[in-house]
Structure 1
Amino acid sequence: MNKVQKGEKNEKNKTLILVMFLLGIFIGALDSGIVSPARTVIANSLSVSSNDSIWMITIYTLAYAVSMPLVGKISDRYGKKKLFTFSIVVFGIGSLLCGLSNYFGGFSFLLVSRVIQAIGGGGIIPIATAYIAESFPPEKRGTALGLVGGIYGIANVLGPTAGSALLDLAGSSNWGVLFLINVPICIIVVIASMTIKEEKVTKAPTKMDVKGSIVVTALILSLMYALTNLKFHDFANSIKSTNVYPYLIAFIILLPIFLYIEKKAEDPVINLKYFTSREIALTLAIGFITGAGMMGVIFIPQFGENILKLKTGSGGYLVTLMAVFSGFCAPLGGKLIDKFSAKFILILGFSCTLIGTLVMSTLAISYPSIVTLTIGLAFIGFGMGFTMGTPLNYLIQANVSENETASAQATLSLIRSIGVAISPNLLINFITDAAKNLQGNLMALMPKISMGANAPAQSFGSGSISPEALASLQSADVTTVVDVLKNFASSMIDKVAPMIKQGLSKSLPQGVSPDAALATMKTDYLSQIESSRAAIESTFQSTLNSGFSKLFLGAAVIAFIGLVLSIILKGKEKTVKVDPNLTVKED
């Protein structure tokens, strides 16, 4: 074989490697959000409560977080392609079993299947990222990682939208398709993997860190479970919950034990030098910030529906729009890294996110329109595309030795996952506070009702709302709130009808029955509510918007912290190895 043919074969092989790993990244990232919109459907199908159904997401998150550092470390010892293929097979088997649980096995079967799926999923993204980065020379590495960032970002953001679309196509009774769709993709990836020559790996002569692996598993489980259940908007009460404080105590006890074991280990499962190297520690801190800020996008559909007066559930396309901007910038950011530096892209990305969140918190609320909303979404999408994965993966890859790139990428993914776990509970605080004022503000707009000729007109106080009516009000949106209030008023009038008829009976004209008078009064009262439609909708909007404004200001603060940390990073400098396990930037 001549040099030209050999070069062409290498290029084809490299393209196949890229496609194989990108497909793996796509299904791995997509599955994180694709189940969310189907949780209620699955719960009803399997006859489990809403509280119990959250476990189908929680158990995946926990198993996913635990598997990342372990599989990453094993892949560095025994071969990335081998462990990636194994992870895809496990993920595919888990997906198949999850899909089959739609038809037999029940909820317990689904949970076990989700654990299997998560164990496979935890190895896909870190290993794929490390392998792709190693397969390309430094001058093209940013471009390759840009594709990784683009695929990861689009799949992550589109997960809930894709889940809703699949449910619409297959029907709620066939929710298993959400999982089964992964199976043919996994088969394609495995077949492609078999055609790629295995990389040469020399097994590490050191002993596997079994003690560290066991302790880090318990450490991650306790921390992630506590953070998942911790409600920052009700911190004082939440911290006392048995779903929180015992696990935080366990984490505090296990942390020094883990540090002691890792310092003694020949080949630690998580290299503690990552946290003492300035550049790697900063990269991990920025990874945490991107995770914490990234989950702010889950509130965008609700925000868009509120300011544009859209029905609940119709704001998903806004996330799709943002994903387009994000998907465009991720590969562009990779190319710019090759030309400039990862630091430059992070600064650019966090600046875009800062502008976008400020636009959402001020301009989009003061001047609500599809134009102002699109401007905010565009900047947030640009920011996510530039910061979510590419520059951080590049920095990690550049600052550790070749024999631990996958475990380093897994550590970055783990830290980012901790940020993701905290984010929704942290940001929802602002919406919760606004919702507390919603009930009182709307009740103040309700017209008073007469109980009789000589009786003073009365208001329906907020204390008189039944739990059912309150739940209906809390689930209302700006397009349905007036009808919800009318239904509430109608039920309340029916409730006090005997009292009203008794008060009216003494002053009714001859020939007019109390029932007829009550019906007329009820119609007039509901008409008064309808005539106040504009004021009610405006109050509903402004009350919730006050919460959204603070939420996006909070996201802006997170982006600003990320910007400051990015500025502190060193620029594009020469790297120098200081020991077999670590590389750092040269001063």
Structure 2
Amino acid sequence: MNQIAKPWPALWALVIGFFMILVDSTIVSIANPAIMRDLNADFTAVIWVTSAYLLAYAVPLLITGRLGDRFGPKRVYLIGLAIFTLASLACGLSGDIGMLIAARAVQGLGAALMTPQTMAVITRIFPPNQRGAAMGFWGAVAGVATLVGPILGGLLVDSLGWEWIFFVNLPVGIVAFIVAWRLVPNLETHSHSFDWLGVVLSAIGMFLLVFGIQEGASYDWGTIVGPITVWGLIISGIVVLVVFVVWQRFNRAEPLLPLGLFKDRNFALSNVAISVVGFAITAMPLPLAFYFQVARGLEPTQAALMLVPMAVISGVLAPLVGKFSDRLDPKWIAFTGFAFITLALGLYAVLITPDVALWLLLLPSALLGVGMSGIWAPLASTATRNLPRAQAGAGSGVYSMTRQLGSVLGSAAIAALLTARLAAELPGFDAADQASAHAGGALPPELVAGYSAAMSQSLVLSAVGFGICAVVVLFLAKPKITVAWGDAPKAEVPAASVPATADADH
């Protein structure tokens, strides 16, 4: 128990790897033009480099949370970290787009093993009155990593080549493995059964849905082959996911998705909000990256520097927000954050034109940083505050899964929307022209206005998503006060003895 009395070193050790896997969710966006050029890939194929990662990341999260409960979060985290690090090497060595997509899928599997363990450890080793600060730190890491990805990607692509956005994970992964091995405690395990039918149904449903949305434009939203159509795949995916939820309701053994957790109002609403956050934040970087690099002709590093205010401000403010989330009603913090983000994206959409002064685009970037700092900690701490100890892994897996599910759909949706808006704004700009421009070819001056308009319009998708989140969090209930709420932590009392809330069984 002495290890658990010092939880912060364990959290520091875990977030090194957590930071790495979240950076990899967005780092590819800035490198897409270089990857398209070097691997001779088209626009849709290069989007799969991100979607394969997100899909393989999202599908297993429900069961990997249970694996942490069953075999211990430390052990599962270390296995996932080893898989992720080795897959990063394979990504960097890829000689064609197919190998890169496959290696990214394996990376996603490693990330899925790791992510639920970080939240589960916070829930299990921090007393309730310290979880806000812990989640603030976790939220800072999540927010900054998501925003740092494109910036780091730009620097690496320009200086060393796109391969190094993956090679850089090797030393980080080794260090993360060593410190987690030494500092993360071996927590108690809980017996679980595993719903393999649920895993299969959720995987099939999500793949059909994502493939249909992302590849729809490639087949003119019509026939793919024989009787198989794009809309047939999308509808089939939705039906399979509905069957999955029904199976979870009537599964007499232990369901993969514990629907009982959603009886807690805050857990349910936080999951809705974080899924939309995943959708919107994944859809956001791509139009910006292509606008800066293709329409304005910036190098990847220059394009990445346009996002520096967002990353710096978010990184500074997020830990402070985490501390306040223990003392203030978190819904107002989250609402303010979402309002700032929606305003910033609306400003981007207005300002993105062929000849706007680039310094003006630093203003919405700064507003985004303020907003991003206010969403991660309030949502995470509100969602997990009342989780019973035996279901910490399952609940953390659900929360992580909903975020990643949103990310997968966001990646597919922005690919479809970008293709549609380019076709609408540049009707004579065919697929070959798009591939040439995205791969670094010169964009004819007469096409810059239409291209910029397509990127501006595509950003509205993210703005609407964050606006929806602002509405959702207004319905969060004020967190219930626990016995330990506001008390000074007692070092001699292990976290395991902190009384659960009255609603812990929900």
Above 0.5 in TM-score?
yes
| Selected match of 1:566 from 470, 473, 487 | 473
Partner of 1:268: helix, strand, or coil? coil
1:130 matched to 2:120? The reply is yes
| 1:17 and 2:17 correspond | no
Partner of 1:185: 172
**Aligned residue-pair number:** 486
Instruction: Tell me the equivalent position of 1:117.
Output: 107
Superposed, 1:375-386 pairs within 5 Å as 375-386=363-374
Q: Structure 1 CA distance, aligned partners of 2:461 and 2:102? A: 37
**Matches of 1:109 and 1:260, distance apart in 2:** 35
Equivalent in the alignment of 1:195? 182
Following superposition, the deviation at residue 49 of structure 1 comes to 6.4
- Whether 1:95 aligns to 2:81 is no
- 1:74 maps to a residue whose letter is L
Measured after TM superposition, the shift of residue 31 of structure 1 is 1.7
Equivalents in 1 of 2:75, 2:204: separation in Å? Answer: 26
Give the partner amino acid of 1:351: A
Q: Which runs of 5+ in 1 are unaligned?
A: 1-5, 441-461, 486-535
From 133, 137, 142, the equivalent of 1:147 is 137
Once the two structures are superposed, the pairs formed by residues 246-285 of structure 1 within 5 Å of their partners are 246=233, 248-253=235-240, 255-256=242-243, 258-285=245-272
- Report deviation, 1:312: 6.2
Counterpart of 1:331 in structure 2 is 319
Q: Within 2, Cα distance between the matches of 1:319 and 1:87? A: 30
Among 207, 228, 236, which residue is 2:193 paired with? 207
SS of structure 1 residue aligned to 2:306: helix
Q: Deviations over 1:489-530 (max 9, x none)?
A: xxxxxxxxxxxxxxxxxxxxxxxxxxxxxxxxxxxxxxxxxx
User: What are the equivalent positions in structure 2 for 1:20-31 lying under 5 Å apart?
Assistant: 20-31=13-24
Q: In the alignment, does 2:386 pair up with 1:404?
A: no
Q: d(CA) in 2 for partners of 1:364 and 1:113?
A: 35
Seen in structure 2, the aligned counterparts of structure 1 residues 99 and 247 have a Cα distance that, compared at 3 Å, is same
Q: 2:321 is aligned with what amino acid?
A: G
Superposed displacement of residue 52, structure 1: 4.8
Q: TM-score, normalised by structure 1?
A: 0.71
Q: CA RMSD in A?
A: 3.9
Say which of 321, 327, 330 aligns to 1:342: 330
- Superimposed CA distance per residue, residues 100-123 of structure 1 (whole angstroms, 9 cap, x where no aligned partner): 445xxx766555543332211112
Between the aligned partners of 1:356 and 1:157, the Cα distance in structure 2 is: 15
User: In the aligned structure 2, how far is the partner of 1:50 from the partner of 1:474?
Assistant: 10
Aligned to 1:33: 26
Deviation, 1:334, is 0.8
* Identity across matched positions, percent: 23
Q: State whether residues 267 and 384 of structure 2, in contact with CA within 8 Å, keep that contact through their aligned partners in structure 1.
A: no
Matching of residue 221 in structure 1 with residue 207 in structure 2: yes
| Cα contact 1:230–1:425 (8 A) shared by 2 | no
Are the structure 2 counterparts of residues 332 and 230 from structure 1 closer, same or farther at C-alpha, using a change threshold of 3 Å?
A: farther
Give, in angstroms, the shift of residue 305 of structure 1. Answer: 6.7
Alignment partner of 1:339: what SS? coil
State how far apart, in whole Å, the 2-side matches of 1:198 and 1:466 are.
56
2:309 counterpart of 1:321: yes
| Distance change in 2, residues 1:355/1:207 (3 Å) | closer
After alignment, is 62-71 or 181-190 more displaced? 181-190
Q: Secondary structure at the match of 1:208?
A: coil
1:125 deviates by 2.2
Deviations 1:275-310 (A, max 9, x none): 444322211111122122212233234456799x55
SS of equivalent to 1:568? coil
**Partners of 1:358 and 1:48 in 2: how far apart?**
32
Alpha-carbon distance change, 335 to 433 in structure 1, aligned in 2, over 3 angstroms: same
SS of 2:256's partner is coil
| Secondary structure in structure 1 of the residue aligned to 2:325 | helix
Query: Which residue of 2 is the match for residue 417 of structure 1?
Result: 404
Relative to structure 1, is the Cα distance of residues 378 and 577 closer, same or farther in structure 2, using a 3 angstrom cutoff? same
Of 275, 278, 289, 1:291 maps to 278
Alignment of 1:552-563 (within 5 A): 552-563=459-470
Q: Distance in 1 between matches of 2:65 and 2:88?
A: 21
Q: Which letter does structure 1 place at the counterpart of 2:390? A: N
**Counterpart pick for 2:51 among 40, 48, 58:** 58
- Match of 1:566, as an amino acid? V
Partner Cα distance (1:147, 1:86) in 2: 24
Specify the SS of the correspondent of 1:573.
coil
Cα distance in 1, alignment partners of residues 359 and 306 from structure 2: 12
Q: Residue 363 of structure 1: CA displacement? A: 6.3
- Compute the displacement of 1:70 (Å): 1.3
Structure exhibiting the larger radius of gyration computed from Cα positions: 1
CA distance in 1, matches of 2:21, 2:259: 27
Segments of 5+ residues of structure 2 without an aligned counterpart are 483-499
Say if 1:189 and 1:369 are closer, same or farther in 2 by CA, change over 3 A: same
The one-letter amino acid paired with 1:383 is G
Q: 1:471 and 1:193, CA in 2 relative to 1: closer, same or farther beyond 3 A?
A: closer
Q: CA shift at 1:213, angstroms?
A: 3.1
Q: Tell me the distance in 2 between the aligned counterparts of 1:426 and 1:115.
A: 19
